[in-house]
Amino acid sequence: MPIDTRNPRLYLASRSPRRRELLTQMGIQFDTLAFRGGAREDSEVDETPHADEAPVIYVDRVARAKAVHGAKIAGWRRLRPQPVLAADTTLEFNGEIIGKPVDAEDARFILRRLSGRTHRVLTTVAVAFEGRLESVISVSEVCFGELTDDEIRRYVASGEPMDKAGAYGIQGRAGLFVKHLTGSYTGVMGLPLYETSVLLKRFGFPL
């Protein structure tokens, strides 16, 4: 069944408020498709990196798994057929995958590592529809200025880093840390608008 171009909608397989905001910015109508208990607790979309898995391979695998699983859920619930969009963001530092901090101490440790250094932010967007699955990746380089221990302590105490890859959100207070960015600002936020639009157009989704 083709996309209904008169009333185009998609399912967003993500709980991220930032991705909801960015889809709204694109003028896209969507329904949120939440996984039971959250993606981290669902074995079909396990975010645990495989041994020696490259960050680019990891982020693509997870995003595609989320889109496929979201499509399965839509089918099980007999929901209206429409594309399922999912995304995953990870941070790469010295070839290592840096995900979300497990606690405040881990967040402080991550931010101390990033202080005064350059890291890469990788976001893959995946779309599943009618048995078809495609993905695109956005790669950005972010350079932090030197952070003091007090700046890190106050930022972590705000709670903002706790659900974000790399322990920071560029759209929040951590925007003050960014000395230089090459790539996609919205990709660092979690949904690169250009790459997302290119992918949706491949499926015939009107924008």
Q: What pLDDT was estimated at residue 61? A: 96
Count of Cβ atoms closer than 10 Å to residue 181 Cβ = 16
Of 125, 94, 115, nearest to 190 by C-alpha is: 125
Q: Which domains does the chain have, with CATH numbers?
A: 9-202 (3.90.950.10)
pTM of the predicted protein model: 0.91
Which of 102, 144, 104 is CA-nearest to residue 121? 144
pLDDT at res. 2 = 73
CA torsion, ordered 101, 105, 107, 109, to nearest 10 deg? -120
CA distance 143 to 39: 29
Catalytic annotation, pick one of 88, 103, 149, 163? 88
Helix (H), strand (E) at residue 86: strand 84-93
Local structure of 82: helix, strand or coil: coil
Residue 101 clears pLDDT 50, i.e. is over it:
yes
The yes-or-no answer on residue 88 being catalytic is yes
pLDDT at position 137: 98
Distances (CA, A) of 55 to 31, 50, 93, 118, 137: 29, 10, 10, 16, 11
Tell me: pLDDT of 40 over 70: no
| Residue pLDDT, tens place only, 122-175 | 999 999 999 999 999 999 999 999 999 999 999 999 999 998 999 999 999 999
Q: How many CB atoms lie within 10 A of CB 94?
A: 8
Q: How far apart are CA 32 and CA 56, in angstroms?
A: 26
Q: Give the CA radius of gyration of the chain.
A: 17
Read off the pLDDT band of 38 (50, 70, 90).
Answer: very low
Please, what is the end-to-end C-alpha distance for the chain in angstroms?
Answer: 19
Rounded to an integer, the average pLDDT of 27-47 is 72
